[in-house]
Amino acid sequence: MSLKVRIAAAILVATPVVSYFEGRNLLAYLDPVGIPTICEGWTYGVRLGDVATNAECDQKTQLALQEAAEVFQRWVPAKVIERMDANSIAAFLSFIYNAGPGKPGVKDGFVWLKNGRHSTMLLHLQAGRIQPACAQLSYWVNAGDRKLRGLERRRAAERKLCEAGL
């Protein structure tokens, strides 16, 4: 299976996971850490009072999953991705969709931690250690400085999906 087909299949698997855990809100709201959010966790340019249609939300979700796939492919070697099935890749796409790539000095994420280092999850993937990378999902259950039950449930589901593909 080509890399392009493998990623497309992973996006198909990730879409209902993201939709389930993010939930759909057509009216902008503040997420648990106070960021204006709409649709399934979309935050770019959102202001309280914004309204979206279902079609706009579908489009935003697919765009964000494509962006997550681009981050994944940019940072994880193709030879490692080729060893993964759609479920394992989908778990990481769902994670990236939710946590983002991160930014040194600003926010922890899939690629970067606030301290300027790469995440342990990414380092495991870059070294071809897929199972330990899947296990790292369980550690990403905080938003701000608070452990959230919703993130615990989501990460457990992502880890189960990730490990199902091993």
Residue 38, token pair as written in the block: 């709409």
Is residue 144 scored above 90 in pLDDT? no
Domain holding 115: CATH number? Answer: 1.10.530.40
pLDDT of residue 74: 98
In sign, the C-alpha dihedral spanning 49, 52, 58, 60 is negative
Alpha-carbon span 69 to 36, nearest angstrom: 24
Q: Structural domain of residue 30, as residue ranges?
A: 3-164
pLDDT of residue 116: 98
Is residue 145 scored above 90 in pLDDT? no
* 96 close to 140: Cβ distance less than 8 angstroms: no
Average pLDDT rounded to a whole number, residues 41-56? 97
pLDDT of residue 165: 80
pLDDT of residue 128: 98
* 108 close to 58: Cβ distance less than 8 angstroms: no
Identify which of 149, 31, 41, 38 has the alpha carbon closest to the alpha carbon of residue 95.
41
Average pLDDT rounded to a whole number, residues 57-71? 98
Total domain count, the chain: 1
Q: Per-residue pLDDT tens for 91-135?
A: 999 999 999 999 999 999 999 999 999 999 999 999 999 999 999
Quickly state the pLDDT bin for 161 (edges 50, 70, 90). very high
Give the side-chain half-sphere CA count within 13 A for 15.
13
> What residues have CB less than 8 Å from 83, skipping those under 6 apart?
128, 130
Q: Burial, 131: exposed, middle or buried (Cβ in 10 Å; 0-12, 13-18, 19+)?
A: exposed
pLDDT of residue 1: 83
Q: Per-residue pLDDT tens for 74-89?
A: 999 999 999 999 999 9
- As a whole number, the mean pLDDT across the chain is 97
Alpha-carbon span 50 to 57, nearest angstrom: 12
Average pLDDT rounded to a whole number, residues 127-150? 96
Where helices occur in 23-148 by DSSP H, the ranges are: 54-75, 78-81, 86-99, 120-126, 130-136
pLDDT of residue 113: 98
Least reliable range by pLDDT among 21-25, 29-33, 64-68, 124-128: 29-33
